[in-house]
Amino acid sequence: MFDGLKDKLSGFREDVEESTEAEEEPPDDETAAESGAAASDASAEGVGDTTDAAAVESDSAEAAADDDSASSDDEPSTFQRAKAFATGRIIIEEEDLEEPLWNLEMALLESDVEMSVAEQILDSVRESMLGESRKQVETTGELVESALHDALLDVIAVGQFDFEQRIAEADKPVTIVFTGVNGVGKTTSIAKLSEWLADRGYSSVLANGDTYRAGANEQIREHADRLGRDLISHDQGGDPAAVIYDGVEYAAANDIDVVLGDTAGRLHTSDDLMAQLEKIDRVVDPDMTLFVDEAVAGQDAVNRAKEFDDAAAIDGAILTKADADSSGGAAISVAYVTGKPILFLGTGQGYDDITLFDPEDLVESLIDEE
């Protein structure tokens, strides 16, 4: 999963390692001679007269001032680099990062990472590494890995919350409404989540608010029958808000923990369908509204998530077909763009093929070299 993006991130690590190799060479003869001269002066200072000592001290102050001036431009001076080498450290410079960061930006965009997200990742990596020094006993790769880890986690974990804890602590029944365009696996995701909840001891009822699409009742009923769940549905053309409201009433009367409400697939530009969502919000007041889209849709999924959140606020997202996505752009971008977390990944066709999204696990899998 997301192997293409993982390879691109590994390429960035290799680029930085190559760009810093030259700095790992010992100082040249001229620098060594200067260092030797400085050492001799330092020895002479200990045995010379007070005038010589004052002169040496003055020269040292000037050198320190020059050093400070050089460092003010965020560019390590020759003296700083020599000193760093002498103390067993290597300094990461702007020129070391320029080309690798450019390549990383192109790699992220090619992986369908949204532009503002890519820029945030680059800024974070640059800030973490520029001017940073490392011990020679460590590797530049370890510095890169740490910077990438923090930068990726910052954008992926935006808005994250404990889904199961929220279910456990909420008054029952908990009502969850699902939105998204047609054909992205919304109804199947409802069935999968019903099974996920059952595995954790929560009962659920399905409510078909997709009352306009021909065959919608049959599709969700097939899932309900296979899973042994109750289904609340009305005739085609009925009021979606009324269906989900009936589902809530049924759950309350029968001590069912969670109501999973389907809605008609829609585009954010469909005014009548968006009005249905607004009515569901007014009539049912769901505890959560989840946006469903395909991970393989990449940038399109990111754009749609933002549009749906703008039109009818979502609480989180489910990305289907994550197992078929090598780019990873949607998984990287959705939370940062909407401010709402990815909660689940669909990873196959079976009812058990749904995984609670863990940002830390995803980041670790993306930067792990093995």
**Residue 319, beta-bridge partner list:** 293, 345
16 is in an annotated binding site: no
CA proximity to 147, closest of 131, 117, 125, 127: 125
Give the Å distances, CA to CA, from 60 to 35, 38, 79: 13, 10, 12
Q: Which phi and psi (to 5°) does residue 211 adopt?
A: -95, 0
Whole-angstrom distance, CA of residue 267 vs CA of residue 179: 10
264 is in an annotated binding site: yes
H or E segment to which residue 91 belongs:
strand 89-91
**Residue 239, beta-bridge partner list:** none
Q: Which residues contact 369 (CB under 8 A, 6 or more apart)?
A: 10, 13, 141
11 is in an annotated binding site: no
302 is in an annotated binding site: no
6 is in an annotated binding site: no
185 is in an annotated binding site: yes
237 is in an annotated binding site: no
186 is in an annotated binding site: yes
265 is in an annotated binding site: yes
184 is in an annotated binding site: yes
224 is in an annotated binding site: no
Residue 73's CB is within 10 A of a number of other CB atoms, namely 9
323 is in an annotated binding site: yes
Identity at 58, one-letter amino acid code: S
DSSP state of 258: E
322 is in an annotated binding site: yes
SS in 3 state form for 36-64?
A: HHHHHHHHHHHHCCHHHHHHHHHHHHHHH
Can the peptide bond before residue 27 be classed as cis, meaning omega within 30 degrees of 0?
no
Encoded tokens for 149: 């880890």
170 is in an annotated binding site: no
Q: Are strands 133-135 and 89-91 parallel, antiparallel or unpaired?
A: antiparallel
Identity at 85, one-letter amino acid code: F
125 is in an annotated binding site: no
183 is in an annotated binding site: yes
181 is in an annotated binding site: yes
Binding residues: 180-187, 262-266, 320-323
Binding residues for GTP: 180-187, 262-266, 320-323
